[in-house]
Amino acid sequence: MPLDEAPHARARLAAPRTVAYNGRRRIERFTHIAGRCTVTNKGDTWNECESSRDTFTQRRVLRITTAGCYNQTPTYHTGTAWTADGKTLCFHSGRNGASALFRCDLPSGDITQLTEWAPGMAVGRVAGAAAAYADESIHGGICVAPRKRWVTFIRGRSLCAVHLDTLEERTLIDDWGYMPIGMPTIDAEERTIAYPRNIVPEPMRGADRLTVHVAVHYAAPGGSLMQLCRIPLEGGEEEVLYEEAMCRGNHLQYSPTDPDLLMTDRDYPPRFWFGSDGRTNRVWLYRISTREMIEMPSPSGKTFQVHSTWTWDGQYCLYHCPGADGYHIGLDDLAGNTVREWNSPGWKYYGHVSAMQGRPAFILDGNLTNDLLLWFYYDADQPRIEVISRHGTNWGGHEGQYPHPHPQSSPTGQHICYNHADRGRSDVFVVEV
175 bridge partner residues:
12
Residue 424 in contact with residue 71, Cβ under 8 Å?
Answer: no
pLDDT on residue 246 = 79
d(CA 283, CA 75) in angstroms, rounded, equals: 19
What 3-state class would DSSP assign to 3? helix
Instruction: Give the domain CATH number at 102.
Output: 2.130.10.10
Q: What is the DSSP string of 270-305?
A: TTGGGTTTSSS-SEEEEETTTTEEEE---TT-----
The rounded Cα 244 to chain-centroid distance in angstroms is 23
Top-confidence residue, 4 or 345:
345
36 pLDDT band, cuts 50/70/90, is very low
d(CA 198, CA 245) in angstroms, rounded, equals: 10
d(CA 252, CA 237) in angstroms, rounded, equals: 19
231 pLDDT band, cuts 50/70/90, is very high
193 pLDDT band, cuts 50/70/90, is very high
Cα 217 to Cα 209, 212, 221, 390, distances in angstroms: 10, 10, 9, 42
Residue 363 in contact with residue 330, Cβ under 8 Å?
Answer: no
The yes-or-no verdict on residue 220 having pLDDT over 70 is no
What would the mean pLDDT of 214-225 be, rounded to a whole number?
A: 62
Quick: pLDDT tens for 38-94. 679 999 999 999 999 999 999 999 999 999 999 999 866 678 999 999 999 999 999
Burial of 104 (0-12, 13-18, 19+ CB in 10 A): buried
Give the chain's domain count: 1
pTM value surpassing 0.85: yes
224 pLDDT band, cuts 50/70/90, is confident
Q: 71: phi > 0 → left, psi -120 to 50 → alpha, else beta; which?
A: beta
410 pLDDT band, cuts 50/70/90, is very high
b/e per residue 337-369 (b: at least 16 CB within 10 A):
ebebbbbeeebbbebbbbbbbebbbbbbbbbbb
d(CA 433, CA 420) in angstroms, rounded, equals: 18
What's the N-to-C CA distance of the chain in angstroms? Answer: 46
236 bridge partner residues:
none
Residue 31 in contact with residue 46, Cβ under 8 Å?
Answer: no
- What is the domain extent for residue 364? 3-432
Lowest mean pLDDT among 4-13, 59-68, 96-105: 4-13
The yes-or-no verdict on residue 126 having pLDDT over 50 is no
DSSP label of 15: P
d(CA 405, CA 103) in angstroms, rounded, equals: 18
Quick: pLDDT tens for 139-162. 778 999 999 999 999 998 899 999
Average pLDDT, the chain: 83
pLDDT on residue 97 = 86
Residue 76 in contact with residue 70, Cβ under 8 Å?
Answer: no
DSSP label of 392: -
Top-confidence residue, 357 or 8:
357
Top-confidence residue, 340 or 135:
340
pLDDT on residue 322 = 86
Q: What is the DSSP string of 179-232?
A: --B---EE-TTS-EEEEEEEEPPGGGTTSBTT-GGGHHHHHSTT--EEEEEEEE
pLDDT on residue 6 = 31
The closest of 223, 130, 138 to 177, measured between CA atoms, is 130
245 pLDDT band, cuts 50/70/90, is confident
The yes-or-no verdict on residue 302 having pLDDT over 80 is no
10 pLDDT band, cuts 50/70/90, is very low
Long-range contacts of residues 129-135, Cβ cutoff 8 Å, at least 24 apart: 129/208, 129/209, 129/210, 130/178, 130/180, 130/200, 130/204, 130/205, 130/206, 130/207, 130/208, 130/209, 131/206, 131/207, 131/208, 133/157, 133/180, 134/206
